[in-house]
Structure 1
Amino acid sequence: MTAPSEAQIVEAVTAKLTGSQGKTVPEAELARLLATLELENDWTDVSAKRFHSVLSKNALVDSASTASTATNGGASAGAGAAGSKKKKKSKTDAGVPRSFIDANVSIPAGVRAHYFDSVKGKGLVASRSFAEGELVFTEEAYIATPPPEAFDQVSSGELCAQCFLPVSSAPVQLAIKNCGKCKVRFCTSACARTAMATHHTLLCTELNPAAKPLVQLVQSQKWQSLHCVARSLARLLSTLTPHNNGMGKQSREQDDLIAAYGDFETVHARLSSFATVSELERRSRNPGWATEKASFEGILAEAYTALCNALDPYAEPRTSAPHPDPHHVQLDLIDAVKTRKGQIKDLFTYASFLKLLGRANVNMEKFGGLYSVHSFLNHSCAPNVQIRHVPERGILASMKVAALALRPIAKDEELVISYIDPTTRLGRRQLVLYRDYCFGPCTCPKCVQELKEVGLQYDPAKNSVKTFLDSVARKSNPDPHAAAAVDPSLEEELRASLGF
Structure 2
Amino acid sequence: MTSPSDEELQRALTELKAAHPALGIPKLHSRLRTDFPEWTVSEKRVRKLLAPKDAKDAAPHPTSQLVEGLNVAQWTPRVAVRVFDKKKGKGLIATHKIAAGETIWLEDPFIIAPEWEIYDKQRAGAACALCTTLFAGPANVRARCAYCPAAFCNALCRKRAEKTHAVLCPAQNPASMELMRWVRTHEWMATALVQCTARILLANTASGTLNADWAVVRGFATLGMEDRARYSFRSEPDRATWKNAFELYRRAFHRPQREALPKNLTDEERKVAVLLHRPLPVEIEAALFDYDTGFLRGLGRMSLNLEAHGGLYTLHAHLNHACAPNVSVRHLDQRRALSRITVRALVDIAPGQELFITYVDPATGYGARRNALAAWGFECACKRCAEEVVGWKPEEAPEGLGDLESELKAGLGVM
Q: Normalised by the shorter chain, which TM-score bucket?
A: 0.7 to 0.9
Distance 1:342 1:110, change over 3 A: closer
| Counterpart in the other structure of 1:17 | none
Q: CA deviation at 1:399?
A: 1.4
Q: Is residue 414 from structure 1 mapped to residue 354 from structure 2 by the alignment?
A: yes
| Counterpart in the other structure of 2:224 | 278
CA offsets per residue over residues 311-369 of structure 1, 9 Å max, x none? 011289x854278845656676337xxxx134213420111111111111100000010
Q: CA deviation at 1:298?
A: 2.1
| Counterpart in the other structure of 2:29 | none
Q: Distance in 1 between matches of 2:273 and 2:321?
A: 39
Distance 1:341 1:376, change over 3 A: same
| Counterpart in the other structure of 1:96 | 61
CA offsets per residue over residues 367-411 of structure 1, 9 Å max, x none? 010000000000000111111113153x6x441111111011111
Q: Distance in 1 between matches of 2:146 and 2:275?
A: 23
Q: Distance in 1 between matches of 2:91 and 2:277?
A: 38
Q: Which of 220, 223, 228 is residue 185 of structure 2 equivalent to?
A: 220
Q: Is residue 381 from structure 1 mapped to residue 323 from structure 2 by the alignment?
A: yes
Answer yes or no: is the 8 Å Cα contact 2:308–2:405 preserved in 1.
no
| Counterpart in the other structure of 1:321 | 265
Q: Distance in 2 between matches of 1:154 and 1:210?
A: 19
Distance 1:145 1:332, change over 3 A: closer
Answer yes or no: is the 8 Å Cα contact 2:287–2:295 preserved in 1.
no
Structure 1 counterpart of 2:160, which letter?
Answer: T
Q: CA deviation at 1:220?
A: 1.2
Answer yes or no: is the 8 Å Cα contact 1:142–1:370 preserved in 2.
yes
Tell me the SS of whatever aligns to 1:387.
strand
CA offsets per residue over residues 459-499 of structure 1, 9 Å max, x none? xxxxxxxxxxxxx423xx2xx6xx44x444xxx559989xx
Structure with the larger RCO, 1 or 2 (CA within 8 Å, 6+ apart): 2
Higher helix share: 1
Q: Is residue 334 from structure 1 mapped to residue 302 from structure 2 by the alignment?
A: no
Answer yes or no: is the 8 Å Cα contact 2:129–2:150 preserved in 1.
yes
Q: Is residue 451 from structure 1 mapped to residue 389 from structure 2 by the alignment?
A: yes
Answer yes or no: is the 8 Å Cα contact 2:202–2:276 preserved in 1.
no
For the aligned residue pairs, the C-alpha RMSD in angstroms reads: 2.8
Answer yes or no: is the 8 Å Cα contact 2:252–2:272 preserved in 1.
no
Q: TM-score, normalised by structure 2?
A: 0.76
Unpaired stretches in structure 2, ≥5 consecutive residues: 1-55, 409-415
| Counterpart in the other structure of 2:20 | none
CA offsets per residue over residues 402-448 of structure 1, 9 Å max, x none? 11110111110000011111111101111111x210111x1111111
Q: CA deviation at 1:101?
A: 1.5
Q: Which of 128, 132, 144 is residue 96 of structure 2 equivalent to?
A: 128
Larger radius of gyration: 1
Q: CA deviation at 1:167?
A: 3.2
Tell me the SS of whatever aligns to 1:353.
helix
Distance 1:217 1:151, change over 3 A: same
Aligned residues: 345
Structure 2 counterpart of 1:371, which letter?
Answer: Y
| Counterpart in the other structure of 1:436 | 375
Answer yes or no: is the 8 Å Cα contact 2:59–2:377 preserved in 1.
no
Q: Distance in 2 between matches of 1:331 and 1:451?
A: 53
Structure 1 counterpart of 2:90, which letter?
Answer: K
Distance 1:380 1:365, change over 3 A: same
Q: After the TM superposition, which residues 21-100 of structure 1 pair with which residues of structure 2 at under 5 Å, given as runs? A: 95-100=60-65
